[in-house]
Amino acid sequence: MPIKKITAIIDELQWVKVEKALEVHGVTGFTVHAVKGRGNYSNTYSKDHLVDHVQIVIYTGDKPCPPYCNINYADGRCWCRE
């Protein structure tokens, strides 16, 4: 069975909301890492100018698209199976 890896990096303040949403939609297995990074915003108050974030990693197989997924590409592919 082919496996796909989904990685998301979010603001650490949003983690609780995202975790609850994943559980509500039946996602029970995921890995969470604390990460630091810098993009459009940098923390000028810290020595390294890095901002705290959370990295979420989810592995998924070839299952039908879940019922909560309502975002599809024009050719019918599902965004959550990319």
Dist. CA 54–CA 17, nearest whole Å: 12
State the total domains in the chain.
Answer: 1
Rounded to the nearest 10°, the torsion over CA 24, 30, 6, 33 is 120
Q: What is the CATH number of the domain that holds 63?
A: 3.30.70.120
Say whether pTM exceeds 0.75: no
The residue range of the domain holding 73 is 4-81
Q: What is the pLDDT of residues 2-60, one digit of tens each?
A: 777 888 888 888 888 988 888 887 777 888 999 988 777 766 777 777 888 899 988 87
